[in-house]
């Protein structure tokens, strides 16, 4: 026996279908917005941390470079100082006065002077002036 085929009913869109589709769209958009906001916040935190790390590395590199440069300059200055001292030591020896070996005798201590008696202060009297 052959089956009887029922005619297919074409789907029709009703206002209810549009309403449900709109609700689904708003729900999906809301979830995606929250997820996107969370991703953006996470990226911002990562970018900030990367920037802080880069600044710390740059500061460390700069400190290391300046310390190395300071050491090199100090070593060069020490070497230059030694060369200059060696070159000038004969000249300094020529112009340096010879040390006197005898001691200078100390002066004899002075005898203390006798203390003089102090006068007591007398009160001053105002003078009269003539008016004329």
pLDDT in the model for residue 1:
55
DSSP letter string, the chain: -PPPPPPPPPP---HHHHHHHHHHHHHHHHHHHHHHHHHHHHHHHHHHHHHHHHHHHHHHHHHHHHHHHHHHHHHHHHHHHHHHHHHHHHHHHHHSPPPP-SPPPPPPPPPPPPPPPPPPPPPP-PPP----
Question: What residues does each domain of the chain span?
Answer: 17-97
Q: Give the tens place of pLDDT for each residue, 3-27.
A: 777 777 767 888 899 999 999 999 9
| Band (36; pLDDT cuts 50, 70, 90) | very high
Q: Give the tens place of pLDDT for each residue, 53-80.
A: 999 999 999 999 999 999 999 999 999 9
């Amino acid at each position: 026996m052959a089956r009887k085929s029922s005619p297919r009913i074409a789907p029709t869109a009703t206002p209810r279908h549009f309403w449900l589709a709109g609700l689904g769209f708003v729900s999906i958009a809301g979830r995606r917005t929250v997820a996107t906001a969370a991703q953006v916040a996470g990226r911002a935190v990562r970018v900030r941390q990367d920037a802080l790390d880069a600044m710390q590395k740059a500061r460390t590199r700069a400190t290391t470079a300046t310390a190395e440069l300071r050491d090199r300059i100090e070593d060069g200055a020490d070497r230059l100082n030694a060369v200059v001292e060696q070159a000038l030591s004969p000249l300094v020896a020529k112009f340096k006065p010879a040390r006197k070996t005898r001691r200078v005798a100390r002066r004899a201590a002075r005898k203390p002077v006798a203390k003089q008696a102090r006068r007591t202060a007398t009160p001053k009297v105002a003078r009269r002036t003539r008016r004329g």
